[in-house]
Amino acid sequence: MDRHPALRVLITSIFVYRHGEEAAKVIKDALSKALDRYYPVAGRIVEAENGEVEIGCTGEGVWFVEATANCSLEDVNYLQLPLLQLSQEDLLPFAPPKVDEKDLVFLMQVTRFNCGGFVVGLRSCHTMFDGVGQAQFLKAVGEIARGLARPTVEPIWCRDAIPTPPKLPQGPPPALAPFSFETSVLDIASEDINRIKNLFLQETGQRCSTFDIITAKTWQCRTRAIGIDPREHVHIGFAVNTRHLLHHVLLPPQQGGYYGNCVYNMTVSAPSETIACASLVQVARLIREAKKRVPAEFSQWMTGEIRQSNKLPLGYGTLTVLDWSRVGLFEVDYGWGEPLHGAPLVDTNFIAWCILLKPLPPKEGVRLIMRCVEREKLAGFNDQMISLAS
């Protein structure tokens, strides 16, 4: 996954905390100490002569920005999306113009609000981290900020020990025409998710996950909303954490430690009519069956038996789903508790996407940030999605 040219991008996100005395100073000092162990993060991305991406361990450090906002978190609705009073540029760190940001690994900004709360804005290179890896690094910063002498999980580089799959084509990703997708936000309560889980158990005799239900529902609702030819195939893509499948090289498996990319991308395809007309249980079963195939397909991919299995078509009929709710990002504590909430700041229109997050307390369930239909389709899509809670 590290080799894919499309991943050499900075993933942007914010995490909102209720309070934190001198949070910027505390986090900056802890970040500096964490980089002793995560020293590649303080380096720069370089390209070797053979075109492979590498990390130059230059020790140049990460970009850290301290900012203040002349308002309270309540004044800006705790920065729930969509952002209204403040912009992404206000909350995210940026390097000076003379610095080529595509070579940077990690940037952080801590913005203090006059209510005592603060927001951590992050930009991290996907070539270095997947979600689990970034969460591990941030948890290490948090543990040091809380007074621990060293992180409870020691980092493992270990990328040279991972089997090398067939090389991906070199060069930039293909040029894509943007769509006009609109952002929507929806909270799904635990009781509504559990109702569908129970229905799935009754009809199949098997259990399913929250991810299965949400992914199936979003895929079906979007398929119905966009109204493409019933015979045309629609596709859904999602990434599966495969660290447990590499326990023989990612040692010691009981503690973890590997913070690079370690996922396998799965794709499920079916005619539009099939997804639109099936029951939600039937669509969720397709998702579950794909997840069950991961160990065998991942093994075949790593040994070169299959090359680019599950290549996700890039087009209007494709939806990607990411689960941020369970990778650990919402468990990062710098000394004043876990974040009130967090969210990606992504406005790309090249592919439809949905991200699972944790809702604001005291709500329980899932918050969905979606950017997958155009304005004229949005009302119908939202009505379909809300029906999960009916």
DSSP state, residue 271: E
Alpha helices in the chain (DSSP H): 23-37, 88-91, 131-145, 190-204, 210-226, 272-277, 280-292, 294-302, 375-386
CA distance 34 to 327: 20
What does the block give as tokens for 265? Answer: 């991308």
Q: Which of 2, 126, 212, 323 is catalytic?
A: 126
CA distance 353 to 203: 29
Q: Which of 29, 103, 187, 333 is catalytic?
A: 333
CA distance 66 to 215: 37
DSSP state, residue 285: H
Is residue 384 within 8 A of residue 224, CB to CB? The reply is yes
Is residue 127 within 8 A of residue 8, CB to CB? The reply is yes
> Taking the CA of residue 67 as centre, how many other CA atoms within 13 Å lie in the half-sphere pointing to its CB?
20
3-state secondary structure 294-361: HHHHHHHHHCCCCCCCCCCCCCCCEEEEEECCCCCHHHCCCCCCCCCEEEECCCCCCCEEEEEECCCC
36 belongs to the catalytic site = no
247 belongs to the catalytic site = no
CA distance 336 to 191: 30
* CA distance between the termini of the chain: 40
3-state secondary structure of 81: coil
3-state secondary structure of 2: coil
Is residue 64 within 8 A of residue 28, CB to CB? The reply is yes
Kindly list the catalytic residues.
126, 333
